[in-house]
Amino acid sequence: MKRIPRIEQYGLIGDMQTSAHVCDDGLIDWLCLPRFDSPAVFAGLLGTQKHGSWQIAPVPPTGRFDAGAVAERRYCGDSLVLESLWRTRTGTGRVRDLMPPRDGAPQVIRIVEGVSGEVQMVSALRPRPGYGSVSPWIHEVEGRMVAEAGADALWLDAGVQQVEKDGVIVSTFSVTAGQSLAFVLSWCPSHAAAPDVPDPEAALAETLTFWQDWTQECTYDGPYREAVVRSLIALKAMTYGPSGGIVAAPTTSLPEEIGGGRNWDYRFTWLRDASTTLAALLGTGYRDEAQAWRRWLLRAVAGDPENLQIMYGIAGERDLRERVLPWLQGYEKSTPVRVGNGAADQLQLDVYGEVIETLYLAHQSGVAHCADTAVLHRRLIEHLVERWQEPDEGIWEIRGVRRHFVHSKVMAWVAIDRTIRLVEASALDMGLGPLVELRETIHREVCTQGFDPVRNTFTQSYGSTELDAATLLIPRVGFLPPDDPRVIGTVDAVRRELATPDGLVRRYPTVGDHAGVDGLKGDEGTFILCSFWLVDALALTGRLDEAHTLFERLLALRNDLGLLAEEYDPVQQRQLGNFPQAFSHMGLIQSARLLHQLSTRSSPPTEARPAFLRPGHRSAGRDRPART
């Protein structure tokens, strides 16, 4: 029976323009070239190996594993070079997988080394461009194997003999102690000249140096530093270097429920995800990424902010039309497999808050507002002023009826509040009076229409009884102070109604076979980012011990390489959703920083303290009830 790996059995390699997923049995079965959002040349992850894969492993294989081999793996230091160790009955071999930061053709390099004894190995490469739909023309050119199909050409260089058989390029070889062989897969347009023959060892050294230099810029030196740095590396790997855009995840259609239909394409730049990711990078010393993202934002949005999209292509593209790939059976038969994302056309008012909050944090970190950014900022606020009272699809991109989501209104408040602060700091030229009045109006409306006084909790939307984990952000963004009874009541209600006994948090209630508030049938796992939000809420409301306990429980959900998907199934005890997920790693970084700040000071530091606790803040807290 075909073995289907769990999502957490994959590692990630990448070159800041695209990435590959490497399973713990030596199989690469997800790779898009030349960009994150390009059609996959290996799509076996969402189908079968016939849809594209490349395995290097000991032989003879029995299924996907050599019965006598045990694989161990790790990243080489603080890098994205993946090292797998294979122990067989006759010897031990090592495979190092990497994608060097690009200076020319994109490459996947796999270096096989003998450690002890002698190990029989096989490389089996099955290129299938077009998400596994195209069988390429495979032939030899001056001792190099090339697979061509349409606009794509894949060149495979190897130090051993290669044979094509039934659409698979196969090499069988052995390595002994001290011996090294390299396989390099390079992509180029099929009409272009062949890429240069690579130098794998030089590429390995340069890649290790790149990551060593980059991680040394990290300014975080508190507890859980290893987990923070690994998450930063994951976020950097999901940044498209040429433009500064950040993908939400480098995969599509990994399911939120095994066998279900909640399968989405995340290989685009969400304003929300990218903004909160940049906040995590800024908080750990990475200003260059913030400047690159701001330039991306100006290019993507500035010409037409009145028609702000909630996501764009990684280079700023607007057309992200969604379609289904019917020839792929989906991961563990979870269909449909989608490319593109129809949510690009939704109205999500919270993105104004997230974008402007990031511009504010960039200013606080020394990335000064430029004239073009100021123009964009003013136009975004002007547009938000006109639309903030409308219902929207909200942070979770519902495909049902629009609602007045509490989180959307809170983030509209954040957009106005941070704008006021920049005006007060003389970093932005706008009239203060109307902004201050609007901030008070939004605050009063949310506290009146979005709060259930009987249950003492903020709700998902105006007039509803459902809860939403996004309301956990109310103290984090400074909408209310953490000791406000309404905040404490909301945290307790979310724990009671949306969390598992272990503290893992669902986004909102789903109703199985019936369409819920999101307009979709089916259920999903607990949402890892929401669980980190609960860590933050517990810490801010003075329950530090409980926050630390939950944080360490979440760290234990990471795979052996420190990577997190979007969701976690506490029943089957497995990761779900697209992988790795920027949101999850951003949440880990932010929670680690907050816990460190609150654990080492008697009160929250200025940077982490909610707005109402900061000196000089004009509190909108007149809606706050008297203590009982």
Q: How many CB atoms lie within 10 A of CB 399?
A: 13
Tell me the per-residue pLDDT of 370-425, one tens digit each, with 9 for 90 and over. 788 888 899 999 999 999 999 999 998 887 889 999 999 999 999 999 999 999 99
Q: How would residue 65 be classed by pLDDT, with cut points 50, 70 and 90?
A: very low
Residues paired with residue 176 on neighbouring β-strands, in sequence order: 118
Average pLDDT across the chain, whole number: 90
Residue 626: what pLDDT?
A: 30
Predicted pLDDT of residue 519: 66
Band (619; pLDDT cuts 50, 70, 90): very low
Instruction: Give residue 1's pLDDT band: very low, low, confident or very high (50, 70, 90).
Output: very low
The pLDDT of residue 471: 97
> How far is C-alpha 580 from the geometric centre of its chain's CA atoms?
6
Q: Which residues, other chains included, contact 227 with Cβ-Cβ below 8 Å and sequence gap of 6+?
A: 555, 558, 562, 588, 592
* Residues of the chain above pLDDT 90, percent: 75
Q: 301 near 373, Cβ under 8 Å?
A: no
532 exposed, middle or buried (CB, 10 Å; 0-12, 13-18, 19+)? Answer: buried
Query: Could you tell me the pLDDT band of residue 623, with boundaries at 50, 70 and 90?
Result: very low
Half-sphere exposure of 145 (CA within 13 A, CB side): 25
| Weakest mean pLDDT among 245-259, 303-317, 331-345, 567-581 | 303-317
* pLDDT confidence of residue 165: 92
**Which tokens hold the place of 613?**
């606790």
pLDDT score for 509: 83
The pLDDT of residue 624 is above 50: no
Q: The whole model's pTM is what?
A: 0.92
pLDDT digits (tens, 9 = 90+) for 230-268: 999 999 999 999 999 999 999 999 999 999 989 999 999
Q: What is the pLDDT of residues 463-516, one digit of tens each?
A: 999 999 999 999 999 999 999 999 999 999 999 999 999 999 999 887 666 556
| pLDDT attached to residue 459 | 97
- Taking only the tens place, the pLDDT of each residue in 94-127 is 999 999 999 889 999 999 999 999 999 999 999 9
Residue among 121, 109, 127 nearest 49 (CA): 127
- Give the whole-angstrom CA distance, residue 456 versus residue 475: 15
Q: Is 385 left (phi over 0), alpha (psi -120 to 50) or beta?
A: alpha
Chain position carrying tokens 């990448």? 14
**pLDDT over 70 (residue 605):** no
Read out DSSP for 50-105?
GG-EEEEEESS-BTTB-TT-EEEEEESSSSS-EEEEEE-SSEEEEEEEE-PPPSSS
Count of C-beta atoms within a 10 Å radius of residue 178: 9
Give 280-301 pLDDT, tens digit per residue.
888 999 988 888 888 888 888 8
pLDDT of residue 201: 96
